[in-house]
């Protein structure tokens, strides 16, 4: 029995949730955008005007995986509703002398110490702004925002000796002492 799956998801005013039972597609539309995803066949989802209820589908398969998908589906619906009402954001910081980032069309261009700049494509419904050494990523889809932030950070992870690299704004880098010379 899923403790999270049992709880209904409240739908705030201004948000419209529709469920297509035949194709298992859930559409969530709100002021920040529109999201849709397909839920697993082990779960039944029913949408009312003010709440969304998830239940285990008795013909969906074994009970152990059905309970896991039950809670996961409820969490995905709650995240989609939060995304279209408030949105999600990540903030990255580029640390290094002469390093920086800029947005060119649908790409972000990173100059982080390599001979050639690195270009990363920006997905649809995600906005990226660069101010000085900070990169702000925001959008209604939590997965796309987090994935883009992880891709950018992966290009030059922060290193512990000089502290250079691309890091999350709230991330604290544990600094290491270098080698001691002399006796």
Mean pLDDT of 43-51: 88
- For 86, the token pair is 């408030």
Written out in words, the top-level CATH class of the domain with range 3-85 is alpha beta
Mean pLDDT of 103-125: 94
E-assigned strand segments in the chain: 9-10, 16-20, 25-30, 33-38, 43-47, 51-56, 88-95, 100-104, 107-111, 118-121, 127-131, 134-139, 165-168
| Paired residues of 139 in beta bridges | 88
Topology at the third CATH level for domain 88-168: Outer Surface Protein A; domain 3 (3.90.930)
pLDDT of residue 66: 82
Q: Which residues contact 61 (CB under 8 A, 6 or more apart)?
A: 41, 42
Confidence of residue 182 (pLDDT cuts 50, 70, 90): low
**14, 158, 3, 172: which is closest to 81 by C-alpha?**
14
By three-state DSSP, how is residue 112 classified?
coil
Q: Specify the DSSP class assigned to residue 161.
A: T
**Residue bearing tokens 């039972």:** 21
Confidence of residue 2 (pLDDT cuts 50, 70, 90): low
Domains 3-85 and 88-168 share a fold: yes
**169, 171, 34: which is closest to 89 by C-alpha?**
169
Mean pLDDT of 94-115: 94
Percent of the chain having pLDDT more than 90? 66
DSSP for 29-50 reads EETTEEEEEEPPTTEEEEE-SS
Mean pLDDT of 116-130: 94
pLDDT in tens, 22-38: 888 999 999 999 999 99
pLDDT in tens, 126-175: 999 999 999 999 999 999 999 999 999 999 999 999 889 999 999 999 99
pLDDT of residue 68: 83
Domain boundaries, the chain: 3-85, 88-168
| Paired residues of 9 in beta bridges | 52
Contact 159, 171 (CB under 8 A): no
Contact 107, 122 (CB under 8 A): yes
Q: Which residues contact 84 (CB under 8 A, 6 or more apart)?
A: 15, 28, 29, 30, 31, 32, 33, 34, 35, 140
- pLDDT for residue 60 is more than 60: no
From CA 13, how far away is CA 7, in angstroms rounded? 19
């Amino acid at each position: 029995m899923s403790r999270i799956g049992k709880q209904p998801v409240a739908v705030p005013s201004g948000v419209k949730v529709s469920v297509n039972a035949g194709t298992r597609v859930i559409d969530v539309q709100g002021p920040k955008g529109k999201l849709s995803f397909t839920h697993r066949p082990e779960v039944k989802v029913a949408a009312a005007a003010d709440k969304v209820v998830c239940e285990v589908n008795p013909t969906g398969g074994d009970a152990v995986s059905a309970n896991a998908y039950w809670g996961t589906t409820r969490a995905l619906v709650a995240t989609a509703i939060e995304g279209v009402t408030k949105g999600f954001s990540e903030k990255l910081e580029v640390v290094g002398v002469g390093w920086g980032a800029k947005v060119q069309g649908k790409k972000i261009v990173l100059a982080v110490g390599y001979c050639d700049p690195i270009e990363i494509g920006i997905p649809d419904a995600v906005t990226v702004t660069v101010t000085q050494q900070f990169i702000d990523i925001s959008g209604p889809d939590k997965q796309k925002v987090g994935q883009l932030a992880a891709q950018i950070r992966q290009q030059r992870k922060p290193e512990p000796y000089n502290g250079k690299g691309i890091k999350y704004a709230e991330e604290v880098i544990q600094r290491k002492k270098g080698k001691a010379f002399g006796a």
